[in-house]
Amino acid sequence: MTGQELKELRRSKKWTQQQAAQKLGLTQAYLSMLERGRRALPYSLARRVSGLLQAPATLVPLREASLGQPSGDERLRVELAALEYPRFEHLVVQSARRRNRRNPADVLLSALNEANLDSRVAEGLPWLAARYADMDWDWLVLNAKVRDRQNRLGFVAGLGLQLAQEAGSAHAERRLREYVEVLERSRLVREDTLCQEGLTPPEREWLRENRPEAARHWNLLTDMRVENLTHAGV
């Protein structure tokens, strides 16, 4: 979150600097320096700001250690629910939604870094890409490459692109097409799975023969197709 974005969020609430500073437990002088870019916004404060000012999910600060420990299926289900994924809507009550939100780019990267991901969570990733097409894709692509996850990300972004096309979302379509092309240039030759590293040899062989063309293109062993995704409307 930049200082300008902080200022715009404050103004959207019709708060003066003094009012916002008081609610955040800051001095007005410090808030002024943050808004003018004279001071960097610390992660913990950015989290507090995004909750208090009801920032869009794409402005929730990104963690620097997103490729650390895996998040796990249960946490990812809750995080997708907090981002309003319909399939997991029942997991988060409205009052807790904003408190539990993470940046969608952060959630997507964490999910793609899982060795074995619950299929219901995996099916939510194309929705996440399409619903939050304005997420920080530059950050996402850069960090995916650190762990050689660009094929997984390219495949998911491609499915998200199809969802955006079906929904008639021209902006999301343009955004996703741009980054699918970026990821295409770094596509890996080695075979991978869509977060299903525990597949048995027979399962792998079946998927090699029966996977959709998009999965074959991204060298992934998965049978995920847009037409089989439920709760995927964007």
Q: Are 133 and 171 in contact (CB under 8 A)?
A: yes
Per-residue pLDDT of the chain (234 residues; tens, 9 = 90+): 788 888 888 898 889 989 888 888 889 898 898 888 888 887 778 878 877 877 887 877 776 555 445 568 888 998 899 898 998 887 765 445 555 578 999 999 999 999 999 999 999 999 999 999 999 999 999 999 988 999 999 999 999 999 999 999 999 999 999 999 999 999 999 999 999 999 999 999 999 999 999 999 999 999 999 998 876 566
Q: Are 87 and 124 in contact (CB under 8 A)?
A: yes
**DSSP-based three-state secondary structure for 146:** helix
Kindly state whether residues 80 and 46 are assigned to the same domain.
no
Is 67 a member of any domain? Answer: no
Strands 220-221 and 192-193: parallel
Find where tokens 């939604």 sit. Answer: 97
Is 62 a member of any domain? Answer: no
Is 139 a member of any domain? Answer: yes
The contacts of residue 124 (CB under 8 Å, 6+ apart) are 80, 85, 87, 88, 231
Is 233 a member of any domain? Answer: no
Kindly state whether residues 135 and 19 are assigned to the same domain.
no
Kindly state whether residues 49 and 92 are assigned to the same domain.
no
To the question of pTM greater than 0.85 for the whole model, the response is no
Kindly state whether residues 41 and 79 are assigned to the same domain.
no
CATH of the domain at 19: 1.10.260.40
Number of domains making up the chain: 2
Kindly state whether residues 17 and 95 are assigned to the same domain.
no
Q: Residue 21: give the domain boundaries.
A: 3-55
